[in-house]
Structure 1
Amino acid sequence: MQKIYRSLLATLVLSSVSTGALAKDVTVMISGGFKAALEKLAPQFEAKSGDHIILVSGPSMGKTPQAIPARLARGEKADVVIMVGDALKNLEKDNWIQPGSRVELADSPIGMVVKQGDPKPNIQKDSDLRTTLLNAQSIAYSDSASGRYVSSQLFKKLGIEDQVKEKAHMIERTPVASEVAKGKYAVGFQQVSELLPVPGVTFIGELPEDVQYITRFAGAVVAKAEHRQEGKALLDFLSSTEAQNTIRATGMRTVKVEQPVKQPDTVQ
């Protein structure tokens, strides 16, 4: 009987060692818009796969050394990138991405915050948003996709570009909401999924739909990834139906799948 117990114990130990040896560290370079969703979903993926996710944060674009393209260019290792879809296209063109590995993950609208405790302005209509921005002492926006839209298009659409240019400021790398929480700026714009996790601010709402800008987030396996299969498995999980409730809870929208055009029936 004692031999049987020893044999079972040895089997369990070997099984544990084998499982540990098979587990992989999947390194994900990720920009802020999808980070909150992945942080919530990572434990589910790790429990199912046995692999471990390592997050490396950085903007999808911009001049900061922490930006994902800059990290890859200087040789930092990653298995997966998750970032703004347009920026991912540039990585695809430069052959940083494994061909055919791109997966659409979520759509992210732009929203606005004020410092917690400050009066809550109305931004439901274009005219309300216009008045709010004209009255604001200062305006902050990001250096990524949402900020580029705010600075180059939103102000023009509202007809206030000249009036706000002296008080509108681009925030590099740092989450916009954290600067608003410190009282450095009166209002802040960024993707909703990047605003909601930050303490010390009040989320006012999304931009009115007719001046809204949706940022697509997508992921892909890096061309030089050490763990390609595990990276693909992660992206498949993040784009699955079971992940959508969590994704929407972080302020993003499920990617709408375009339905094929139905062909007319052939007359026999």
Structure 2
Amino acid sequence: MTQATPVEVICAFVVRSPFDAEILPAWEQQGHAVQVKWDTTSVIMESIRSGFRSDVALVTVSAMDELVADGIVDADSRVELVESNIGIAVKAGEAHPDISSKAAFIATLLEARSVAYSLGGASGIYFKSLIEKLGIAAEINAKATTLPGGFTAEKLLTGEASLAIQQISELLAVQGIEIVGRLPDAVQKPTSFSAAVFKEAKNPALSREFLKHLQSSSAANAYQAKGLDPLF
């Protein structure tokens, strides 16, 4: 039996939960194969600028704008996929702090034993600038648990942090945690994500089929189930 040629995807962590739960298994059930390289958008872009190429890229809208402008991806293949909001999580079974308002959110951060956030992801980059804008960066960073990439909620399970900040879909990728909620609107920053086929893709036709799969009705349900808002 000939093994299917995989679509190679370099992909932001934001869609890991729905991809693993529903979207990738459904693609494979159709007789296709896929290989995904997961990372933060900032690291993905560094790799691409250094010459890395794949079949499909899934990154933030602003990063995709750059890839289109530089002629690295096929602009005609570009699709807008999901919008993501930043949330807060705690270890399962622990009390949910008050984040119902900007003032409550600030108080919760200051009272937390340690806040985990990613230095490389879109949510962590925003959070770092947010606490500076709020004037609490020194207090938060003195007790923060930072990581270069990956899932901040893992630090709840190890006990290194009492709160985790990240895109809600990324928080949901970790078992044993509970979502407290979205950041208040006054301090929220939704981030949208796009996907496109590289101009140097080894499997351009199959890659375009994969993008159609990412916009199916079942994919939309999978995104919503994992805290993402479909943009199609």
Q: TM-score, normalised by structure 1?
A: 0.78
Paired residues, what number? 230
Q: Could you say which residue in structure 2 is the equivalent of 1:141?
A: 117
- What's the % identity of the aligned pairs? 31
* Aligned mates of 1:92, 1:170 — CA distance in 2: 32
Amino acid at match of 2:34: I
Cα deviation for residue 166 of structure 1 reads 2.2
Q: Could you say which residue in structure 1 is the equivalent of 2:26?
A: 44
In structure 1, list runs of 5 or more residues that go unmatched.
1-16, 62-66, 258-268
* Aligned mates of 2:132, 2:214 — CA distance in 1: 34
In structure 2, list runs of 5 or more residues that go unmatched.
none
Identify which range, 185-194 or 86-95, moves more after superposition.
Answer: 86-95
Three-state SS of the structure 2 residue aligned to 1:87 is helix
Within a 5 Å distance, the mapping from 1:114-125 to structure 2 comes to: 114-125=90-101
Q: Could you say which residue in structure 1 is the equivalent of 2:6?
A: 25
Q: TM-score, normalised by structure 2?
A: 0.89
Amino acid at match of 2:7: V
Q: Could you say which residue in structure 2 is the equivalent of 1:265?
A: none
Larger Rg: 1
Three-state SS of the structure 2 residue aligned to 1:88 is helix
Three-state SS of the structure 2 residue aligned to 1:90 is helix
> Paired residue for 1:231, among 207, 217, 228?
207
Q: Could you say which residue in structure 2 is the equivalent of 1:264?
A: none
Three-state SS of the structure 2 residue aligned to 1:91 is helix
> Paired residue for 1:59, among 40, 45, 69?
40
Three-state SS of the structure 2 residue aligned to 1:107 is strand
* Aligned mates of 1:56, 1:36 — CA distance in 2: 14
Residues 205-242 of structure 1 deviation map (CA, whole Å, 9 limit, x = unaligned): 11112321111111110121011111111112212333
Residues 234-255 of structure 1 deviation map (CA, whole Å, 9 limit, x = unaligned): 1122123332111100110122
Cα deviation for residue 56 of structure 1 reads 1.2
Amino acid at match of 2:225: A
* Aligned mates of 2:93, 2:217 — CA distance in 1: 37
Amino acid at match of 2:100: Q
Within a 5 Å distance, the mapping from 1:114-263 to structure 2 comes to: 114-142=90-118, 143-153=120-130, 156=133, 158-255=134-231
Higher strand share: 2
Report the RMSD for the aligned CA atoms in angstroms: 2.1
